A = this chain, B = another copy of it.
């Protein structure tokens, strides 16, 4: 009962790594938005494994089909169902997974929760589950861009200790997409790529940070008290596989400042209320203040490594397990479209919520 996200712009995902496919139903999208597969496919391609040597070599064409909710090129206001078939179902590659729990994966917890699990490819806990989110996020991004003038983007800012300085106000998609690691700082990106390749050779993996950004959000979105914008964004990001942390604006760094140092003074800029600094990250009291939203998401290093590790089997007997087959040493570049998608889902929902009650 936890596969639906959002209150008014509602997204329900389904599907396992192996099986009939993965998909999503988007309910509550306003009518008369132009929409076709061509609006959705590019983000799926960005999410797809096998884009570069950095990411998982799993080969899936991931062609999306829109099954409902669109007629003559326009959304109907009724549910938009989208489906991507599973193609690369080599479950034999995962044979050992049937009986052993991979460390720091979800195998054990799914088994103990449900008493039954789709072990091939990790089943529902596979990153493949995020296909539906990205497809729905593409619809939300389009709605936000065309109806509200909101631009959403994300990029990699850190791999292990290699950190790039990125300005959320000015960074451009072209710089982000210019390299395989999706870090807009070309020099740091190069170092990141070498680090990732090194870890791949070592059969090991890395983690890092993704920066999420929303520009052009009008003041007033978000709601006190439980559904603050940062609370819903935080939940969205922490629902992504492998994410372990979220902060917004000054975040964990801001705790070193005093209140005088940290506060964002208000100014009147051309008749509009602006803040001189943006340590708030575009949100005050849970509600957008018209400044750029920016936040960081921490992703742990990928759990699958090509080394023997201690674990237990389904009978709780101690054993070891070594990752085999495809090795994806860094999830970060593929997490970029995920962060964008989840950001879009949160903002589309709050755009409609604000409109419903206050406009």
Contacts and interface: CB of A to CB of B under 8 A. Distances in A.
Given A2-B226, A3-B225, A226-B4, A114 B77 contact: yes
Residue picked from A21, A28, A105, most chain B C-beta under 10 Å: A28
What's the number of copies of this chain in the assembled complex? 4
19 contacts: A8-B353, A14-B68, A14-B69, A15-B81, A25-B25, A76-B124, A103-B264, A109-B283, A109-B284, A112-B220, A207-B257, A228-B238, A239-B286, A244-B249, A247-B298, A260-B309, A262-B301, A263-B303, A265-B309
A267 interface: yes
A140 interface: no
A241 to B, nearest CB: 8
Given A14-B67, A117-B71, A129-B225, A356 B8 contact: yes
Interface stretch (A39-47, A174-182, A185-193, A268-276): A268-276
Contacts of A281: 244
A98 to B, nearest CB: 10
Contacts of A287: 106, 109-110, 112-113
A108 B204 contact: no
B14 A79 contact: yes
Given A77-B358, A298-B247, A204 B258 contact: yes
Contacts of A237: 234
**Considering the complex of A and B, which 8 residue pairs feature the smallest CB-CB distances, nearest first?**
A106-B285, A245-B247, A20-B67, A356-B356, A2-B227, A205-B259, A2-B223, A1-B28
Given A301-B255, A316-B271, A245 B244 contact: no
B357 A219 contact: no
A68 B16 contact: yes
A223 B231 CA distance: 18
A308 to B, nearest CB: 10
B161 A2 contact: no
A7 interface: yes
A30 B273 contact: no
A271 to B, nearest CB: 7
A288 interface: yes
A259 B76 contact: no
B71 A301 contact: no
A90 interface: no
Contact of A23 (B67, B117, B125, B288): B67
Nearest to A9: B1
Contact of A77 (B79, B116, B225, B311): B116
A292 to B, nearest CB: 15
Contacts of A118: 71, 76, 78
A94 B309 CA distance: 61
Contact of A246 (B21, B31, B220, B238): B238
B12 A27 contact: yes
A352 interface: yes
Interface in A76-90: 76-81, 83
Choose among A225, A231, A247 the residue with the greatest number of B CB atoms under 10 Å from its CB. A225
A208 B257 CA distance: 9
Contacts of A160: 255-258
A340 interface: no
